[in-house]
Structure 1
Amino acid sequence: MNLSIVFENAVSRCPKKVALIEGDRQYTYGELEEHVWRVASAFQRLGIRQRDRVMVLLKNRIETVVIFFALQKIGAVFAPVNPYMSFEIIKYCANDLEAKVIIYEGDGQNWIKKIMFNDRPILISLEDDSHSDLTYQELINYKREHFEEPIISDDDIALILYTSGVTGTPKGVPRSHMNEYSSTIAHIFQTRLDMGEVCLGAVPFYHTMGMRVLLSTIMLAGKLVILSDFDPIDALKSISKEKVTSLYLTPTMYHDIIHCSKLGDYELSSVNKLAYAGAKMTKALTDKCFSTFNPKHFVNHYGSTEIYTYTTCSELNEKPESAGKPGIHQNIRVVRADPFGNATIDDLVQPEEVGEIIVNMNSPEAFKGYWNRPDLTKKAIRNNWFFTGDLGFFDQAGDLYVLGRIDDMIISAGENIYPMEVEEVLTQHPQVADCAVIGEPHERWGQIVVALIVPKEPGLNAQELDRFCMQHEKLPNFKRPRKYIFVPEIKRTVTGKVLRNQTLQHEA
């Protein structure tokens, strides 16, 4: 089923029901459909055809949702890119996509004029500016007429999402209609969403988590409460005012909400389902989420842009550090970890033994390969299995635990050390607000463990942290940090993944 039909079905069920809320604006499903039709017709009159790529540099907005479904209706490709990315990355994505159209807002005009396009796209801005060819308002003013209904296959590309580019140039990940439909069905099942769910649209739509919230809400004829920029007070206001029932956020977002000084001023009893993804959540934060929201269901989702679901854990009260068991569409293995890419799908490791997590590509949630990058596709997909680059292990009960990236693994005196397990211990110190662990070259040991620490208050020192680590029952001596660097903040991606080297470079 293609995503345009998903939208049409939701509209037919409840045309007068509120679909979207953003600030003081709201659209019913019927109003949303009218705007989608108008923009889709306008796109066709501008010469945008099936499979053309449209680069979207917008925050979460009602307009972004309209554009998304308008492009699905004409069979074109929605390609959202983080508008806060550097000029070089935005330029790279525009030319990598060979974008037929670029839609932007605000400060976008400052860099649009600087890009040397391989082929100059149509430029559409949300507001009037001197560099655009037309505005969003002009699209809306088009009438519904002369629409050519395309034949859309389940395997046609619906959108292209770019990975965060933590380690280099971002990779384009094409997602078919089947990929997105299957991933959304899995998300609904795994997080136990209901018809008419009221969801908070806080994670950006240029991320797979944001797209999942959008599509699952529409599929269930629910109400999406959109936040264009995440702010914990705005989130609390929206949850309380709109009686939000389901949250799917990053651990950083949950942290900011729960530690907000205004938390007690808002009624949160409507929330009964919690889910998180994007990064690991500490046990302390997991416990805080339970006590703050008292949810009926609380789910940890582990996956990627390439394959939406790997595993989920809904037993966070018993196994807060676990990523759980494979999703409904998945087959997962853990094989010998080889940073040089020489491991095979049959190099299986035993339970409790750490290796690389790989995922079978037969899942309908799985992409087919990277956009314009056959070299990376060949490296990542081997014998129909996706090599994630993540390290982890299965316990005796078959639950998966994730320990970080192969590239982040520290080898000290021949021993493998995984930053996440050291970070988990450090965050238990009452004076540590945040931390990240990296490896530093050492002449004798090969590498030593270095801890980057954000203290809650001045006065915390290395001696105190070293004493804490030495006495901690879960941290063997050889994994103990040998050096502590105090920093003002830990650099992270939008989903909360630690940018280890960038944090160190920033401090330097």
Structure 2
Amino acid sequence: MRLVDFLDRSPAMTNSDVRFIDLDNDVSLSYQEMVNASIHLADLLRKKGVKSQDVVATYAPNSVAAYCCIFAISRVGAAWLPLNTRSTFESNLKLIDKSEAVMLFVDKGIAAENPQFSDHFSDDQLISLDGQQIAGLVFSSLSEAPSQGFSFDGQHPATEADQALVSLLATGGTTGDSKLAEWGSLAWQTFTSIQAEVMPLPDILACYLVSAPMTHAAGIASFAVIGQGATILVMDGMVPERLLSVIEAYGVTHLFLPPTALYMLMADEHVRDHDYSSLRYFWYAAAPMSVEKLKEAIAIFGPVMVQTYGQAEAPMICTFFSAQDHVVALENGCASMLRSCGKPSPQVELEVMDDDGNILPCGEEGEIAVRGNILMRGYYKNPEATAAIRKSGWQRTGDIGVFDEQGYLAIVDRKNDMIISGGFNVYPSEIEQLIWAHPAVKDCAVIGVPHEKWGEQVTAVVELKNKNCVPKEQEIIQYCKDKLGSVKSPKQVLFWDELPRSPVGKVLKKEIRKFFWEKEGRKI
């Protein structure tokens, strides 16, 4: 299944009230108009020589125009490479080079600021866009039905095999350079069918808001609701008061945000002034979330919070923690259940294993392994890296997890984040969960830093809600000792104005470690 199939086969094709609406650029297209526009652009790509299974990249802010480019790429059978405008230009160039992209849709402003594009693409390989035009064509002309005899008829090219390459997704890069995960047709079909099953459309007109980067989870999750026939609202960036107003004004039913963005919403002084009764699914993922902040979110937005677990290699819905699960956990005062990411999703096999591949019973920690049609095909042109994470038919995630007796999975930590201090294994996430609950703390990261006696010393780096109200270091240390004991408690606490984060909001522990470890000439 191709991305454009979600559009072409959507029930919204016959309903002009269901639309793609760009809140920043005053663009509104019906599904049929989006089909027409994507056919015009696909014809342009074909004339430029783009072939089935070529790679074509998009490098632009969130917009309806960017969606049109994605559908055009898919319509010619090419693979989509999304580039995040919040990433550095240099890191995006690396992804372009790795992917061997033959064409680039690029925002006019980005192209003007970065003449280095000419070193990677000819003028004919660069197609400019802004919020209201693509390749010099405005939407009033793009959205017209193609004329008779149009050279591209929109029919499916011969790439319908289950493993046809549909997209390349960059891995998080939180521990090193990003790799490119190949998402095939079957992975996309499996991912979206799971999403439709666990999050069915409500009995009101569905409206999905994309404000986090559409190149990542927020945009990826939109294709399932496009296939179901939802209105797609698009805005670039997240100004809390504006986003909260949009939810109320447009009756938003679906919203995806990483926890860092959710924290920003909850910190806004007007967060309780709006009506969120239209919301059915407030989807959070991509990073752990404090139990205390999760309780606050449910109090503000209602019993609509849902969580999933996954990664670029095993797309984002390997587990599902439903809104009802959240309610049950709250009613029963079960904080451990709220720390979970739910149960394995339909169509996904997920186990916790030891290093030898033995499946561990509930209560025992081990590495999370996944298998099923949801998995990536492999790392793009990197068979060695693919083989390194696949053993006996299972794909290792690099995450440490544990099942409880009810079958709920909790993510303990990244395997590579474990601290070894004085011979003890210390998992940072347990400490981070506790520090997050401190009333002065906005966010934190716990790492191991060099120590002559202990090997590694548990260290907390804290970002505060109010930089004028700084707790004492010893207060945080004692706060942890009272709950966790001395072994797991941080031995030092540093207060930073801001933690380094990836473009999708994940704290970059590798950058924090670098601050402490560089003088040692090693990273572990």
Q: Which has the higher contact order (CA 8 A, sep 6+)?
A: 2
Aligned-pair identity in percent equals: 27
Query: Given the alignment of the two structures, is residue 386 of structure 1 paired with residue 395 of structure 2, yes or no?
Result: yes
How far off is 1:375 after superposition? 1.6
Pairing of 1:140-219 with structure 2 (within 5 A): 140=142, 144=147, 145-147=150-152, 149=155, 150-153=157-160, 154-194=162-202, 196-212=205-221, 214-219=222-227
Pairing of 1:185-334 with structure 2 (within 5 A): 185-194=193-202, 196-212=205-221, 214-295=222-303, 297-308=304-315, 309-314=317-322, 315-317=325-327, 318=329, 319-334=337-352
Instruction: Tell me the distance in 2 between the aligned counterparts of 1:506 and 1:441.
Output: 11
Q: Could you give the per-residue CA deviations for residues 58-89 of structure 1, whole angstroms, max 9, x where no partner exists?
A: 11110111111112211111111112322322
Instruction: Tell me the distance in 2 between the aligned counterparts of 1:382 and 1:135.
Output: 50
- Of the three residues 340, 361, 370, the one matched with 1:359 is 370
Q: Could you give the per-residue CA deviations for residues 320-361 of structure 1, whole angstroms, max 9, x where no partner exists?
A: 10112111011112122xxxxxx2322x3332222111112x
The number of equivalent residue pairs is 491
> Can you give the 5+ residue segments of structure 2 that lack an aligned partner in the other structure?
330-336, 519-524
Instruction: Please say if residues 172 and 371 of structure 1, whose CA atoms lie closer than 8 Å, have aligned partners that are also in contact.
Output: yes
How far off is 1:245 after superposition? 1.2
- Of the three residues 405, 413, 420, the one matched with 2:414 is 405
Query: Given the alignment of the two structures, is residue 427 of structure 1 paired with residue 430 of structure 2, yes or no?
Result: no
Query: Given the alignment of the two structures, is residue 107 of structure 1 paired with residue 99 of structure 2, yes or no?
Result: no
Instruction: Tell me the distance in 1 between the aligned counterparts of 2:350 and 2:143.
Output: 50
Change (3 A) 1:53 1:482: same
How far off is 1:442 after superposition? 1.4
Amino acid corresponding to residue 249 of structure 1 in structure 2: L
Instruction: Tell me the distance in 1 between the aligned counterparts of 2:4 and 2:312.
Output: 21
Change (3 A) 1:136 1:490: farther
1:426 partner SS:
helix
Amino acid corresponding to residue 17 of structure 1 in structure 2: D
How far off is 1:424 after superposition? 0.7
Instruction: Please say if residues 252 and 495 of structure 1, whose CA atoms lie closer than 8 Å, have aligned partners that are also in contact.
Output: no
1:477 partner SS:
coil
Q: Could you give the per-residue CA deviations for residues 402-451 of structure 1, whole angstroms, max 9, x where no partner exists?
A: 02211110011111111110011111222222211000121221111000
Instruction: Tell me the distance in 1 between the aligned counterparts of 2:127 and 2:273.
Output: 41
- TM-score with structure 1 setting the length: 0.90
Query: Given the alignment of the two structures, is residue 485 of structure 1 paired with residue 497 of structure 2, yes or no?
Result: no
How far off is 1:262 after superposition? 2.3
- TM-score with structure 2 setting the length: 0.88
Query: Given the alignment of the two structures, is residue 88 of structure 1 paired with residue 90 of structure 2, yes or no?
Result: yes
Instruction: Tell me the distance in 2 between the aligned counterparts of 1:177 and 1:226.
Output: 25
**Residue 18 (structure 1) aligns with:** 18
Instruction: Tell me the distance in 2 between the aligned counterparts of 1:495 and 1:316.
Output: 24
Change (3 A) 1:244 1:141: closer
**Residue 126 (structure 2) aligns with:** 123
Instruction: Please say if residues 244 and 274 of structure 2, whose CA atoms lie closer than 8 Å, have aligned partners that are also in contact.
Output: yes
> Can you give the 5+ residue segments of structure 1 that lack an aligned partner in the other structure?
337-342
Instruction: Tell me the distance in 1 between the aligned counterparts of 2:485 and 2:362.
Output: 20
Instruction: Please say if residues 352 and 369 of structure 2, whose CA atoms lie closer than 8 Å, have aligned partners that are also in contact.
Output: yes
Amino acid corresponding to residue 152 of structure 1 in structure 2: T
How far off is 1:141 after superposition? 9.2
**Superposition RMSD in Å:** 2.4
How far off is 1:503 after superposition? 3.8
- Of the three residues 43, 49, 52, the one matched with 2:51 is 49
Instruction: Please say if residues 3 and 181 of structure 1, whose CA atoms lie closer than 8 Å, have aligned partners that are also in contact.
Output: no
How far off is 1:287 after superposition? 0.8
**Residue 474 (structure 2) aligns with:** 463
Instruction: Tell me the distance in 1 between the aligned counterparts of 2:114 and 2:426.
Output: 42
Which segment is superposed worse, 203-212 or 59-68?
A: 203-212
